[in-house]
Structure 1
Amino acid sequence: MARRSNGQAPQEPVDWVTRAADDAIRHAGGDPRDPAVAETLRAAGTVVTCASGISPSGPIHLGNLREFLTVHLVAEELLRRGVPARHLHSWDDYDRFRKVPAGVDPSFSTHIGKPLSAVPDPWGCHDSWAEHFKAPLRDALAQLGATMEEVDQTERYTAGAYTEQVLHALARRDAIEDVLARHRTKKPAPEEVSEEEAATLADSVANEDEATQTGDLGRFPYKPFCRTCGRDTVTLTSYDDETTDLAYTCDSCGSSHVTNVRDDHEGKLVWKVDWPMRWSVEGVNFEPGGVDHATPGSSYTVGKEIVKLFDGRAPSFVGYSFVGVAGMAKMSSSKGGVPTASDALRVLEAPVLRWLYARRQPKQAFTVDFGPEVVRLYDEWDALARKAADPAKRDAQVLAFERASSTSTAGRLPTPTVVVPFRTLSSIADVTAGSAEQISRLVGDLGHEHGTVADLEPRLTRAITWTNEFVPAEDRTTVRATPDRELLAGLGEQERTWLYLLMEHLPSAWADESPDLDRVTTVVYGVPKLARGLALEDSPTDEVKADQKAFFNLLYRLLVQAERGPRLPTLIVALGLGTVTELVTAP
C-alpha cells in the first residue's frame, strides 16, 4: 500500500509501522500530515516516547521479542522522519518471582514472592535471577541494532521515584476500586486457542486482579515486601492515611512490621495500577502489548480509565499476537527450553530476524520454523533484496525490507559481501562436515567469486550451525568412504548404462580443474535422455522423467548411503570428480 495525493502516482509506501508512528505523533500533539511536524515538536521540547516493558522472569523468547521490536520499529520510523523520539524500556524486575520453572532446584520455591531482582541466580553467573535473563537479550538486541533507554523498576521504586504517585493511588483507592470493580465482570468471550497460546495466556499478568485477603484491605492497590524475608506474602492489618503507616504480618515468616509508605519504599503498586501510573510519569505516547492486555477487563482497558486518576492519558496502543516456534509445544517464559532471540540469531542473519516481525501486522500471529523452512525463508529474503535494488519496485514489502536492513544508530546491519544462497551453503556444509575452507573453495567453484571466507559471513557460520544442529541426523549426508561393491555388482543393464554415460560426459564439466555447475546439472539430468536416444538439451519425455527419478535415487545410494540428499549437481561438485568416479565406477 502507498500513500496517494490528489490522484497522483503512488508516493511513500504505508505499512503498520507508518500508521502506528502517525498515532504516536497525534498522541504527542502533532499532526503527522504536517511537513513541519518534526520542527514543531522539537521547538515545543516534545520527545515522542515509545515504551516497552517486560518482566525478566525467564528466558526472553521470540514471543517476548515482539514487544521490543514493535516499539523499536515505530521509534525508528519517527526518527527517520526527523521527529524527536525515544524507545523507553522498563525492566519490571520489581515484579514478584511467581514460580520455579522446570530444571531449577525445587528449593528455590523459598524465593517465591520476592522481587525478581532479589532472587539469586541459580546458575551463578549474574547478580540476580532478573539479570541472568536480561543479559542475553541485551546482547541480542545489540546484534539486531535495537537501542533503547532502559529503566530499572527496582531502582525506581526503591529510590522513591514514584512515592507521590503511590500516595496518590492510596488516597484514591476507592475510586480505583470502583474502576476495577466495573471491569471485573467483563470477561472476554471464550475462543479457541492453540496449546502454545494457552501456555502464554496462563503466564500473563494482564488479568490479575485477585483479592489477596478478606476485609477492607483485601484489594489495597499497594503491596509491601516483608522486611524480614523479602516476600510479598503479607496480610495487611491497617493503614493510616495521615501518617502513611502500613502495618502487616508476613504469612511466610510470621514477622510483623509497620512500613511507612512515604519514607520506606519497600513495596510497589499492583500491576493494573502500576502500569497506568507509569504512563503518566513517563509521558508515554505509544506502547504495544499482547492481545491478552486488550481484552475486556484486562490491564490496558482498565488502565485507560485509571490513568485519568493520575491526570494522564493512555498511550496509543497496538495489540500483538503470538509468535510460535515449529516443533515447540509451549512458549512460556517461565518454563525452560524456549528459543530466544540469541538462539534465532545463530541461524538467521539479524536483518532476516527483524524482517519476520516488520513484515507482518502485530495482530498477525506467526511461527518461526527452524526446520526446512529456513532454506525457503532465505530464498524469499534474497528475492526481496533483488527487488529492493530496483527503485521502481518500492512498495510495502520493500519498505519492510528497508526497516529490517538498517537502523538509525547501527546503520546497515551486517550482510554477506557475496550473497550465496543459504541452500547452497548448507548443502556444501553438510557434505564437507562444516569446513569453512572447503566451503569457500567449493563456493568459488560454483561461480560465486569472493576474496576470503569473511566475504561469505555472517551467513556462512549460520548455515554451518543450522546444518550441524537443526538438521535431523537421519537427514544429514554421510558420504561413502568406499564404493558399495555389492550394490555395483548387482546393477542391471539400464543402471550400468546410466553410470557409463555419466562418467563419459561428466569430465566435460571440469575445465582447468574447476567445475561448471550448469554443465554438471545438464549432464546429471541429461544421462537418462542420452540412454533413450535423445540429446542432452532435449526436453524430457514422461519416460525420461521416470528414469531421472530412478537414476537420482541410484546416485544417492552410491554416493551418500541414502535415497535422498543435497541437490545432486551441488553434491557432485562438492565431492569432486575423483571421488564421484571412485564411488560410481563398477568393478
Structure 2
Amino acid sequence: MPETTNAGRDAAPIEINSELLAHAHVSKAWPFEEARKVLSRLKRIPQPTGSIIFETGYGPSGLPHIGTFGEVARTTMVRHAFRVLTEDKIPTRLICFSDDMDGLRKVPDNIPNKDMIGAHLGKPLTQVPDPFGEYPSFGQHNNARLKSFLDTFGFSYEFLSATECYTSGRFDATLLRVLEHYDEIRDVILPTLGPERRATYSPFLPISPATGKVLQVPIIDRDLAAGSILYKDPDTQKLTQVSVTRGHCKLQWKADWAMRWAALGVDYEMAGKDLIDSVRLSGRICRILGRQQPEGFNYELFLDENGEKISKSRGNGLTIEEWLSYASPESLALYMYQSPRKAKRLYFDVIPRAVDEYAGHLAAYPVEDQAAKLTNPVWHIHEGTPPQADLPISFALLLNLASASNSEDRSVLWGFIQRYAPEATPETQPLLDELVGYAIRYFHDFVKPSKQYRAPTGKEREALVELDKRLATMPDKILAEEIQNEVYAVGKEHGFEPLRAWFQALYQVLLGQSQGPRFGSFVQLYGIENTRALIAKALE
C-alpha cells in the first residue's frame, strides 16, 4: 500500500510584519498558546528530523467522522500559529497517520456486507476486504475517504499508512529498540492491567503466518541478536519464531503510539480527553526509547443529540458529508475552533448557529485592530487571510423565509432578499447564494418535516389582531427596528410576561416552530403584506 506524501496543497508562504509578530507572541488565542509550547520545546530539544513534526492519528476501523476532521483542522491552526511565531523560518510538516494495521475487533454498524466482514475479524484492516467493493481493503477504503475530504478542504499534509511504515522497514530501527527495552516497557503497562491480561501481555503482536490475524499471545522468548520473538501459535500449538521487523509483528496500542512518536520524531500531537492516561503511558515509553514525548493538549469529546460520545463504528452524530450538505467547510472549521476543551453536541441543530457565527466573525474582521484579528476565529480558519464578505441577512433569517413561504425555489428566496437589499444578486453575493442553497436543503430535511402549527389562544388572538392593525399602517420602507418596537409594544399591552412568551407564540402560530429570528427583521424581509397574510391565515 503506497504512502501518500504532500497531499493537498503546499503550505502557502506567510507575510509577517513586526506588528503581527509582536501581538502573536502574547495572543491568548489557543492556537498561539499551543504554538508557544512547541517553540519552547524547540529551544530545549534538538530536532533530529530537521523539521517540526505535527501529527494527527486516525483509526480506520470505521468510516471517518467529524472528530477526525476536527483534529486535523485544529492541528493545522497550531501549525500555522507556530509558523507565524518563527517567521516561517523553520520547516514544518503535518503527518496524518492511519493505524490501518490494527486488527479489526468488531464489525461496524454502518457498513454493508457485514457477514463478509465478520469472517475477517482479527486481521489487519488492510487485509480485510472492502465491504463497499471499491478498494483492495477496508482500511484503504476508509483512508481514501479521509484523504478525499482533507484534500477537498485544502489541508497541507502527508499521509502515512501504518501498514506501509511497518512493512517497508521504516519502523525497524525503533522496533528493535522496543525489543531491547522489552521489560522496561512491560513494567510501564503491567500495573494498568487486570490479572489475566497482565499474565499474557507483550508489547509485540505477531501476525499469524497461517491465518493473517493479529495475535494477542504470550511471548515465550526473545532473541535480541536475531531481532525476533518466540511464541506458541494458538492454531497449530507449535512454537513459532518471527522477526519483529518488516511487518511480521505490530505493537500494542500504547507502545505503538510511543514507537511512532520516536520513529517519526513527532513534536506535537493533540488527543481526546478519553486518552489522557494513554498519552501519559505512551510518553513514558517514548522516553524509554530515547525521545521526548510530543507537546499537545487534550480536547473534549463531541457528543450526539443524546449526549453520548460519537463513534466511528456506531455512526452516531454527524458525518462530514452531512454537515457539508447544509453548510460550508468554513462553518465546520469554526465549530472546531471554538472552545476545544469544552464538550459540545455535534448534531444538525448546531449548524445554523455555526453558519451565522462564521459570517459575523468574517464581517467583524476588517475593522478590528491587529490584536483582535489574532483572536478572531476566521484568522485561524483562513491562515491569516480571511476573504472579504458582509452578508446582508443571516442564515437563520433565510431559514425562516423558507419556512414562512414554504418554498424550496431559490428565485423565491432571492425575491425576498432583494426586497431588503435591492443591489444584491447571486452574482454579486456568491456566498449568500451559497447560503440560499444550504437553507433550502436544511429547510426541506429538518424544518419542514417538524413544523407544527397551533391555533392562537384567546389572548394571543387579540394581540395578533392588534399587531395586524399596526402593520397595516406601516409604510413599505419602514426599518426593522421600528417594526420590532411595535411588536414589543403589542406584547406588553396585552400582558405577556415574560415578553418572550409573546414572541414564542408568534413563531408557533405563524411559522409552526418553537423559535425564530428577530421578528422585526423577518417582517422587513418577508414583507408587511405577506406577514399580514400569515396572521390572517392563523386567525382563520
TM-score range, shorter-chain basis?
0.7 to 0.9
The whole-number CA distance in structure 2 between the counterparts of 1:493 and 1:27 is: 67
Pairing partner for 2:369 from 392, 397, 411 = 392
Matches within 5 A, 1:373-522: 373-392=350-369, 394-395=371-372, 398-404=375-381, 406-407=382-383, 412=386, 418-430=391-403, 431-447=405-421, 449-452=423-426, 454-471=430-447, 473-475=449-451, 498=466, 501=469, 504-505=472-473, 508-509=475-476, 516=477, 518=479
Q: Is 1:102 matched with 2:75? A: no
The answer for the alignment partner of 2:263 in structure 1 is 281
Q: Is 1:127 matched with 2:103? A: no
CA-to-aligned-CA distance 1:444-491 (integer Å, 9 cap, x gap): 11226323263524322322232222337233789xxxxx9xx9xx99
Q: Is 1:302 matched with 2:276? A: no
The answer for the alignment partner of 1:49 in structure 2 is 53
The whole-number CA distance in structure 1 between the counterparts of 2:284 and 2:23 is: 43
CA-to-aligned-CA distance 1:335-380 (integer Å, 9 cap, x gap): 12331333223334322322223232x4333333532x54444444
Matches within 5 A, 1:237-386: 238-239=220-221, 241=223, 242-251=225-234, 254=236, 258=240, 260-261=242-243, 265-295=247-277, 299-327=278-306, 329-360=308-339, 362-371=340-349, 373-386=350-363
Task: Call closer, same or farther: CA 1:524–1:255 in 2, change over 3 Å.
Answer: same
Contact 1:503 1:581 in 2 (8 A): no
The whole-number CA distance in structure 1 between the counterparts of 2:162 and 2:460 is: 75
The whole-number CA distance in structure 2 between the counterparts of 1:584 and 1:24 is: 64
CA-to-aligned-CA distance 1:535-570 (integer Å, 9 cap, x gap): xxxx6683256599889968975x667898776663
Q: Is 1:146 matched with 2:122? A: no
Contact 2:395 2:435 in 1 (8 A): yes
Contact 1:272 1:303 in 2 (8 A): yes
Task: Call closer, same or farther: CA 1:329–1:469 in 2, change over 3 Å.
Answer: farther
3-state SS in 2 of match to 1:165: helix
Task: Call closer, same or farther: CA 1:245–1:280 in 2, change over 3 Å.
Answer: closer
The whole-number CA distance in structure 2 between the counterparts of 1:449 and 1:179 is: 68
The answer for the alignment partner of 2:92 in structure 1 is 85
3-state SS in 2 of match to 1:471: helix
TM-score by length of 2: 0.78
**Offset at residue 284 of structure 1 (A):** 1.2
Contact 1:416 1:456 in 2 (8 A): no
The whole-number CA distance in structure 1 between the counterparts of 2:321 and 2:42 is: 34
RMSD over aligned Cα atoms = 4.3
The answer for the alignment partner of 1:533 in structure 2 is none
Residue 365 of structure 1 aligns with an amino acid whose one-letter code is A
The answer for the alignment partner of 1:200 in structure 2 is none
Residue 93 of structure 2 aligns with an amino acid whose one-letter code is R
Task: Call closer, same or farther: CA 1:407–1:144 in 2, change over 3 Å.
Answer: farther
After alignment, is 441-450 or 22-31 more displaced?
22-31
Identity of aligned residues (%): 20
**Offset at residue 70 of structure 1 (A):** 2.8
The whole-number CA distance in structure 1 between the counterparts of 2:54 and 2:110 is: 36
The whole-number CA distance in structure 2 between the counterparts of 1:227 and 1:12 is: 56
Residue 346 of structure 2 aligns with an amino acid whose one-letter code is V
Contact 2:27 2:33 in 1 (8 A): no
Contact 1:50 1:284 in 2 (8 A): yes
3-state SS in 1 of match to 2:77: helix
The whole-number CA distance in structure 1 between the counterparts of 2:92 and 2:60 is: 25
**Offset at residue 53 of structure 1 (A):** 1.0
The whole-number CA distance in structure 1 between the counterparts of 2:283 and 2:203 is: 16
The whole-number CA distance in structure 1 between the counterparts of 2:494 and 2:302 is: 45
**Offset at residue 278 of structure 1 (A):** 1.8
The whole-number CA distance in structure 1 between the counterparts of 2:220 and 2:502 is: 84
After alignment, is 436-445 or 135-144 more displaced?
135-144
Contact 1:224 1:232 in 2 (8 A): yes
Contact 1:416 1:459 in 2 (8 A): no
**Offset at residue 388 of structure 1 (A):** 2.3
In the alignment, structure 1 segments of 5+ residues that lack a partner are: 32-39, 186-207, 479-483, 510-515, 530-538
Task: Call closer, same or farther: CA 1:303–1:522 in 2, change over 3 Å.
Answer: closer
TM-score by length of 1: 0.72
Contact 1:276 1:304 in 2 (8 A): yes
Contact 2:318 2:348 in 1 (8 A): no
Residue 370 of structure 1 aligns with an amino acid whose one-letter code is F
**Offset at residue 393 of structure 1 (A):** 7.4
The answer for the alignment partner of 1:512 in structure 2 is none
Task: Call closer, same or farther: CA 1:344–1:163 in 2, change over 3 Å.
Answer: same
3-state SS in 2 of match to 1:86: strand
Task: Call closer, same or farther: CA 1:397–1:374 in 2, change over 3 Å.
Answer: farther
The answer for the alignment partner of 1:16 in structure 2 is 30
3-state SS in 1 of match to 2:93: strand
**Offset at residue 331 of structure 1 (A):** 1.2
The answer for the alignment partner of 1:111 in structure 2 is 120
In the alignment, structure 2 segments of 5+ residues that lack a partner are: 1-18
Contact 1:143 1:350 in 2 (8 A): no
The whole-number CA distance in structure 2 between the counterparts of 1:9 and 1:155 is: 42
3-state SS in 2 of match to 1:407: coil
The whole-number CA distance in structure 1 between the counterparts of 2:237 and 2:517 is: 68
Size of the alignment, in residue pairs? Answer: 506
The answer for the alignment partner of 2:205 in structure 1 is 223
Contact 2:174 2:262 in 1 (8 A): no
After alignment, is 346-355 or 109-118 more displaced?
346-355
**Offset at residue 154 of structure 1 (A):** 0.6
After alignment, is 561-570 or 350-359 more displaced?
561-570
CA-to-aligned-CA distance 1:144-195 (integer Å, 9 cap, x gap): 44321111111111112222222232232122223334xx25xxxxxxxxxx
Residue 330 of structure 2 aligns with an amino acid whose one-letter code is P
CA-to-aligned-CA distance 1:383-437 (integer Å, 9 cap, x gap): 4334322233743773433112x137xx647x86745311111112222432112
